[in-house]
Amino acid sequence: MGSSSVSTHTGLVHWLGLLLVVSLLNIWIQPTTSQVTVYSKTALEGTNVLLYIRHTATNVAGFLWYKGEDTDSNNNIAYLLINTGIHIRGPPGGPARVEDDGSLLLKNVTRKDSGIYTVLVQLQGCQKLIACGRLNVYPIMRVPTLLASNTKVTENKDAVVMTCNTNQNAIEWFFKGKSLTLTERMKLSCDHRNLTIYPVLREDAGDYQCKGFNPMSSAKSAPLVVDVKFE
């Protein structure tokens, strides 16, 4: 017969779960050859994420997940207790859910959900397994906009300051469709959002773009054309 699933909305189950957490932290741990692995993951904001685990244990009594590196009861965000074929999940109304295989499901993640997650696998008797993994959440990509202090400038006289507006922290600049090679007259701000050219020369004329990117995606701005007049 398959396992049955029992949902509860009372504080009793949460209390029992926390009592189990405390007891697990104070028992004598026997050596075990079983292993557990948490697979780190990257995700975009607003998506559902499954932190998948793999373990070799056959006598699992429960899975307890924590936000952070410590298995402190205050950091517990979800648990699944297994007793004679009955699955008890909690805490009621918590931010996450433990699946039957022990993996952690996080719904509608935000950047605040980024960080280390630790799983404690309680085995029958006095043994436990602990492993951790990392979740990195990135903002949904918006197309950058590129603005300039002046797009019509005079050679050897004027300066131009271009600003890349993007919701990404990583930025790359392009000139005439190719990655921009900085000259001694060009300066990037520390965050790479501002490009200053002074003095402007005729060789600087052409279209500029900036690209925001993260490990999940990237997007380029529309071209901005700088026109250099010379006397």
User: For the chain, what is the mean pLDDT?
Assistant: 86
pLDDT, tens digit, 9 for 90 and up, residues 171-222: 999 999 999 999 999 999 999 999 999 999 999 999 999 999 999 889 999 9
Q: Higher-confidence residue: 231 or 176?
A: 176
Q: Count the neighbouring beta carbons within 10 Å of the beta carbon of residue 195.
A: 23
Total-model pTM: 0.70
Using the predicted structure, report yes or no on whether residue 58 has a pLDDT greater than 90. no
Residue 94 pLDDT level (bands cut at 50, 70, 90):
confident
pLDDT, tens digit, 9 for 90 and up, residues 122-136: 998 888 999 999 999
> Going from the N-terminus, what domains does the chain have, and what CATH number goes with each?
4-138 (2.60.40.10), 145-229 (2.60.40.10)
Query: What Å distances lie between residue 224 and 197, 207, 210, CA to CA?
Result: 14, 5, 9
> CB-hemisphere CA count at 13 Å for 191?
10
